Structure 1
Amino acid sequence: MTDPPSEPAAVAVALAELRGEVREGFATVNGSLNLLAQRGDQTDRRLDDHEQRLDSLERARWPLPSLAALVGAIGLGLTLWQLARGS
């Protein structure tokens, strides 16, 4: 028959198993953190891309309010000119 492991040996075995489980847990957490960091970088790149696209759209539409004001002023001028001619 084999002798049961002594108390210090059993503790050493339990600590070794616990160390292995802790290492495995840290590896899992590290993998998850790396994935989250990668997704965060991708999100930052997408936000930068959207910001650039919005800036280009805003630059392209600036003349519209100016053109609307110009057309309104021309319409007002023509109306006043017609009223002045008709009188």
Structure 2
Amino acid sequence: MTIPTPSDPAAVAVELERLRGTMETGFAKVDGSLALLVQRGDQTDRQLSDHESRLDALERSRWPLPSIAAVIGVSGLGLSLWQLAAR
């Protein structure tokens, strides 16, 4: 097989076909990389929403602690005043 000269129209067609194949391969790689990035972004969004829901659940279950401490403090003060008044 002989390599055609650059002025030959067949040579131009061959080179264009090679360039087309190279471009298709490159675009396929880029498409694969973009699909992977989109998948990772979706996974990150799911993890963030899961973490936010877990954090909200923790915050909701934590609210009684300060109020319980306040009730214990007020009851301790009341008990101290009652003992002081009894003397």
> Normalising TM by the smaller chain, what interval?
0.7 to 0.9
Q: Distance in 1 between matches of 2:31 and 2:72?
A: 62
Looking at structure 2, the residues matched to 40 and 3 of structure 1 have their Cα atoms a distance apart, in angstroms, of: 48
Question: For residues 6-45 of structure 1, what are the structure 2 equivalents within 5 Å?
Answer: 7=7, 8-45=9-46
Determine the C-alpha separation between the residues in 1 that align with 2:77 and 2:68. Answer: 14
Structure with higher RCO (Cα < 8 A, 6+ apart)? 2
Instruction: Name the amino acid aligned to 2:5.
Output: P
| SS of structure 1 residue aligned to 2:5 | coil
Q: TM-score, normalised to structure 1's length?
A: 0.84
Matched residues, percent identical? 67
**Count of aligned residue pairs for this structure pair:** 85
Once the two structures are superposed, the pairs formed by residues 41-60 of structure 1 within 5 Å of their partners are 41-60=42-61
Contiguous gaps of at least 5 residues in structure 1: none
2:71: which partner in 1? 70
Q: 1:4 to 1:42 in 2, by over 3 A?
A: closer
Change (3 A) 1:10 1:61: same
User: Which residue number in structure 1 is paired with residue 5 of structure 2?
Assistant: 5
Asked whether the equivalents of residues 4 and 10 of structure 2 are also in contact (C-alpha less than 8 Å), the reply is: no
Query: Which runs of 5 or more residues in structure 2 are unaligned?
Result: none
Aligned amino acid, residue 5 of structure 1 = T
Give CA-to-partner distance per residue, 1:50-74, whole Å, 9 cap, x none: 1111111111111111001111111
- Note the aligned Cα RMSD (angstroms): 1.8
